[in-house]
Amino acid sequence: MEHLNYKHTARARATGEKKQALVGVVASGNLEVLVERVLPGNECEIDIRTAAEGFGEVWKEVVADFVGRRSPGGLKFSINDGGARPDTVALRLAQAARALEGDGT
């Protein structure tokens, strides 16, 4: 089990009012993402516990691209990863951010 933590400043604060959301499942090749609107301003934190060790460089890029594309300011993401491929991680992060926006976007 490897622990990774990334802090970013997003371009803008995430829209919507929902306080938290959970997407995905903890399973082999999959992951669970808990997202909470708990950080001040445009801060964004992604905290990862992964079963697959040694992929820090790829995680760093996936997370940086996600923050760049989605502007998740004010959000903290806690990830439980069962060794998901980067494409699955990117999809789950996008889903988590979108789930927090709620309906009507």
Residues that bind another protein (CB under 8 A): 58, 61-62, 69, 85-88, 90-91, 94-95, 98-99
Measured from the CB of residue 90, what is the shortest distance to another protein in angstroms? Answer: 7
**39 contacts 67 by C-beta, under 8 angstroms:** no
Task: Pick between residue 4 and residue 91 the one whose CB is nearest to another protein.
Answer: 91
Measured from the CB of residue 100, what is the shortest distance to another protein in angstroms? Answer: 11
Measured from the CB of residue 53, what is the shortest distance to another protein in angstroms? Answer: 14
Rounded to a whole number of angstroms, the CA Rg of the chain reads 13
Give whole-number Cα distances, 82 to 22, 31, 66, 67, 99, in Å. 16, 6, 19, 22, 21
